[in-house]
Amino acid sequence: MPLIFQLLGLGVRSLFIGACCSLILPVAERVYAETPSFDLQIEQVTAGDKHHFFGYIGQCQTIPWNKSGRYILGMEIDRIDRMPEPEDAATIILIDTRNDNRIVRIEKTHAWNPQQGTMFYWNPRSPETQFFFNDRDIESGKVFTVLYDIEKKKRVREYRFDDTPIGNGGVAADGSAWLGLNYGRLARLRLVTGYKGALDWSKDEKAPDNDGMFIVDIESGEKRLLVSYRQLEAKIKELNPELAHTGLFINHTLWNRDCDRIYFFARAGWNGDGSKRTNVPFSIHADGTHLSAQKFIGGHPEWAEGSVLIGRQGKKQMLYDVDKKEFVKQWGNAEIFPNPEGDISLSPDGQWFANGNKKGDKNYYSIFRPSDGAFARSEGIDKGQYGGDIRIDPAPRWNRTNDAILVPGISKNGTRQIFMIRINTSE
């Protein structure tokens, strides 16, 4: 049975249920909009001496639950006090929500990190039984992407490219394709974004023309280079002719909901060599056309509908149109979103918005309903004193029924565990 904190009325209460933990913590205060209509309930999903997590922000419908909602994808690891070495395998698990959250260990991967996990995505064309994750060959260091079937209990496909060993950086919501990145290059230029020791075939060039962001057709397995680092360098130099860098890398490759646009960052200067940082957001159409530099709207944007992104302008949570290159609407205010730069995620139906932000040693969550402005804020969930590459970011991930998010936290015994925040509506 899980530990539950409930947000009830305007009072502050404490509630303990079950025996998986002995921790009793205060419940958050319910915060009302003009029409109070929902409460938040927090429960701990996993427990034990091992660490458990999902990884990555829930942008672009990165949903941990399978179609029926029975299984939650996750990872089990032995330590969280350092970045993983190439030989450190993580165990891939299923959390059986219909069997007291029993952990079922099904696979292992050598391509993961504490922030992104292993880039889990349930296959949109078979979301009940199949999911994608990244792995690598230990001997060669080559990264590849795996399609696993939980019913068949095996890998049903591996996407390996010997000339350009890329891993998944984001699956299109229609299941047509995934975006490929050189995780060896990412690890070299910003460790937290890649896999330490992975093969980097383009390491000798600052802006290679044979590396960048790839797109892989899921059915045929064919890949093509969508945009190269050489192209990105040329575009950045149009804005900054004096550009100087030690190597470009790509971060946060985000499909929009219509699967016709991709938003991402071209970056440099994150590897501690003292060079000036470059951080330019871009959008591009999925056919490789309309490459365009965009305004910076924060480091963790999320797609809304069509060509509109959710980001920030100063201290405001804003919607931004990549086609118009302008802000088009504000959501909420500073009371609702004390940090619009936080990890954000829009529910699959587009009716709920989560903003996770950190303060001190805790992560807090604002749940907002754009239709009427109703919102609630959670009590803080312990994230420990971990920082830098091993920090525990808020990273909210929605379920398929649009009434809960999965989040990380530190349990009473000091292990990293998976928590869930449910939305209880009175309607």
C-alpha–C-alpha distance, residues 41 and 86, integer Å:
38
C-alpha–C-alpha distance, residues 329 and 331, integer Å:
7
In a domain, 217, yes or no: yes
Q: What percent of the chain has pLDDT over 90?
A: 87
Per DSSP, the residues of 151-206 read TTTEEEEEE--SSS--EEEEE-TTSSEEEEE-HHHHHHH-GGGS-TT---TTTT-S
Q: Which pLDDT tens digit goes with each residue over 213-226?
A: 999 999 999 999 99
Q: Which pLDDT tens digit goes with each residue over 173-230?
A: 999 999 999 999 999 999 999 999 999 999 999 999 999 999 999 999 999 999 999 9
Q: Is the model's pLDDT at 3 over the cut of 80?
A: no
C-alpha–C-alpha distance, residues 14 and 4, integer Å:
9
Q: Is the model's pLDDT at 301 over the cut of 70?
A: yes
In a domain, 111, yes or no: yes
C-alpha–C-alpha distance, residues 88 and 194, integer Å:
14
| Encoded tokens for 260 | 């016709």
Which runs of E-coded beta strand occur in 286-373? 292-293, 302-303, 308-313, 316-321, 326-331, 343-346, 353-359, 362-369
In a domain, 341, yes or no: yes
In a domain, 249, yes or no: yes
C-alpha–C-alpha distance, residues 67 and 126, integer Å:
8
In a domain, 40, yes or no: no
| Encoded tokens for 203 | 């390491």
Number of folded domains that form the chain: 1
In a domain, 108, yes or no: yes
In a domain, 188, yes or no: yes
The CATH number assigned to the domain holding 126 equals 2.120.10
**Residue 151 CB neighbours (<10 A):** 10
- Give the domain range for residue 163: 55-387
Q: Is 108 in contact with 78 (CB distance < 8 Å)?
A: no
In a domain, 266, yes or no: yes
Helices H / strands E in the chain, number of each? 2, 30
Q: What is the mean pLDDT of residues 120-140?
A: 98
pTM score, two decimals?
A: 0.91
C-alpha–C-alpha distance, residues 16 and 1, integer Å:
10
Using pLDDT thresholds of 50, 70 and 90, give the confidence band for residue 427.
Answer: low
